[in-house]
Chain A
Amino acid sequence: MSPEALLEADRLAVRVGHRWLCCEFSLSLRAGECLVLLGPNGAGKTTLLHTLAGLRPPTVGRVALAGRDLSTWPAGELARQRGLLVQQQPDYFAASVLETVLVGRHPHLGRWRWEGPEDIALARGALAQVGLEGFEGRQVLSLSGGERQRVAIAALLTQAPTLFLLDEPTNHLDLHYQIAILDLFQALAREGRGVVMVLHDINLAARYADRVILLDGVGGVLAGRRAEVLQAEPLSRAFGHPLRQIEVAGRAHFIPD
């Protein structure tokens, strides 16, 4: 394990039931980098993300955060280091936006501590970052899908982990918010944090990824730097549709043939 790696997958393989989602691969993510998981529907991107988050054990190999095996982290300590944005955040009970966002402070508070002014300031700051200033007192159940997604992102920002794991962070978001949110996480990475995200859009991946893991849906994995993985040929094979690579403003874009 290299000491400077924030997240390191070492000969990792994941199986669900009898199906291998990915064969053995190794990859390390440094602080400051953005890793994107790509692949067709049902390829196991979410399962792999949960494995990288330490929420399910790897079938083979190991995952380490800051040089320490994920299975040896106490749950509470791990929650202060890595945060997960889930794909669908259901709302079972009515709650205000501020209360919902403050849930992110849970791992930072002792058993009898209540959220203090500094926690509330963090939550308000996070809401401002996702463009939801003034929404503190609103009920989450009254919000639109895109607004709820941004509330979930604000809760994650309030958790303030070193490693962000995002399952489709652009879900429900309008185009300008998609770019804004991804810009935000890229900026967070540049400040010295790590970002791992599942994306559907190859071109957004090409824009934000430093490293890419491409799952082909039948167990094959291609993992490496963006330029090594994002090429027309492996992408076409993984997504089952021919893609053509074009250069626009010095950046690779992929369009379906």
Chain B
Amino acid sequence: MPSRDLDCCGAPSTHGKGRLVASVPGAAPAPSLAGRDALGRPLTRCLRVLGGLSLAGALAFAFALHAGEVTVSWADVAAALGLGPGGGAADVVRTLRLPRALAAYACGALLALAGTLMQILLRNPLADPYVLGISGGAAVGALGAIALGAAAWVVDGAAFAGALTATCLVFGLARGDGAWTPTRLLLTGVIVAAGCGAAVSFMLVMTTDIRVQSMLFWLTGDASGATRPWPAFLILLAGLALVLPYARDFNVLARGDLPARALGLRVERLRLLIYVMASLLTAVAVTQVGSVGFVGLVVPHLVRLALGNDQRLLLPAAALAGGALLTAADTAARTIMAPTQLPVGVLTALIGVPLFLFLLMRHPR
């Protein structure tokens, strides 16, 4: 490293609280408390944060098994989890609440992780997993299947196929002649989403019977039909395993394409990885619980505000926080107006909108 000091280090700094920043040539720089807070003992901090968020998730999960139209005693909850003898209420937990809570947790984590990835890809902290039309494509598939009176698994398959179709369509169109800028990707996604929105409206208008209710539940996001949560969990773990090794690369990528390339990143490959992973994670979540809003936008944003933008911490923390939040929201959706069950998307929006507005007010920039 160069040893020569600037001859102007004694110049007054307008942002240094009016004091002179004097430098002594050859002297070791004095440690600053602010800097130590920002990066001191990063691994310990990571473990503490991730441990806390895991605990929050476990609490939300336990409460999801306990609360509902019928309150199940903690002993029966433990029994349902194989931790002791229990009565008939354990069956309610095992067959109804457990898969639903697991699905809500997995999908919340998937959406928050996908949102974080999408925000890096588009270099926009206000991007969400649906901004590139994935949920629109899934909605067209799912509502088409519902309109035809298809079985639940066909609806899921159609939603997944629709999501992947929209993903490929946006990718192909945005790529065009090879230029693949975030702006172009965003505009293409918004237009494809608008097209899907029109198709969805058309189907809603043309359907006149009880199926409209199913369609509206699907569109708002609803976890009541989620009975097979394990595939979503496996995809979540696979997704984390695939993106976490690149977390520091994402930090560099967030600085812009050119600086990232100058620092040795293969930007095109990295962006493709992010795009494919974010799309796949979103598609899996939407297939399970419909297009639940706000989790993928608010959770990454909140976690970033609290912890900073280091993707090595942000990606796993957002996943854990998203899982905890959606599990808690789904429990509330089942209980606050029981026996009426609200779609969980209504709850996430009710929590998300004021929270987000509050954050925007506090951070005018």
Q: Which residue of A lies closest to B125 (CB)?
A: A93
The listed residue (A98, A111, A135, A191) touching B39 by CB distance below 8 A is A98
Contacts of B184 on A, CB cut-off 8 Å?
Answer: none
The listed residue (A111, A127, A183) touching B29 by CB distance below 8 A is A127
What is the predominant secondary structure among interface residues of chain B facing chain A?
Answer: loop
Q: Mark B293-312, 1 if CB is under 8 A from A, else 0.
A: 00000000000100011101
Is A93 a contact of B29 with CB atoms below 8 Å?
Answer: no
Is the C-beta of B365 less than 8 angstroms from some C-beta in chain A? yes
Is B123 a contact of A96 with CB atoms below 8 Å?
Answer: no
Is the C-beta of A229 less than 8 angstroms from some C-beta in chain B? no
Is A99 a contact of B7 with CB atoms below 8 Å?
Answer: no
**Given A103-B263, A120-B39, CB of A137 within 8 Å of CB of B255:** no
Q: Mark B183-210, 1 if CB is under 8 A from A, else 0.
A: 0000000000000000000000000000
Is the C-beta of A60 less than 8 angstroms from some C-beta in chain B? no
Distance of A133 Cα from B6 Cα, bound (Å)? 12
**Given A133-B29, A136-B34, A137-B35, CB of A157 within 8 Å of CB of B1:** yes
**Which residue of A53, A134, A160 has the most chain B CB atoms within 10 A of its CB atom?**
A134
Q: How far is the CB of A154 from chain B (nearest CB, A)?
A: 11
Contacts of B228 on A, CB cut-off 8 Å?
Answer: none
Distance of A114 Cα from B252 Cα, bound (Å)? 14
- The A-contacting residues of B in range 234-258, CB under 8 angstroms, are 245, 248-249, 251-252, 254-256, 258
- The B-contacting residues of A in range 102-143, CB under 8 angstroms, are 102-104, 106-107, 109, 111-112, 114-115, 120-122, 124-138, 141-143
Is A114 a contact of B2 with CB atoms below 8 Å?
Answer: no
Is the C-beta of B179 less than 8 angstroms from some C-beta in chain A? no
Contacts of A176 on B, CB cut-off 8 Å?
Answer: 8, 11
The listed residue (A80, A94, A180) touching B7 by CB distance below 8 A is A180
Is the C-beta of A29 less than 8 angstroms from some C-beta in chain B? no
**Given A84-B259, A92-B254, A144-B15, CB of A136 within 8 Å of CB of B2:** no
Contacts of B35 on A, CB cut-off 8 Å?
Answer: 96, 98, 120, 124, 136-137
Distance of A136 Cα from B248 Cα, bound (Å)? 20
Q: Which B residues contact A (CB, under 8 angstroms)?
A: 1-9, 11, 13-16, 21, 23, 28-35, 37-39, 42-43, 123-125, 245, 248-249, 251-252, 254-256, 258-259, 261-266, 304, 308-310, 312, 365
Instruction: List, sorted by A's number, 6 A–B pairs whose CB atoms are closer than 8 Å.
Output: A50-B258, A78-B264, A84-B262, A92-B125, A94-B308, A99-B309
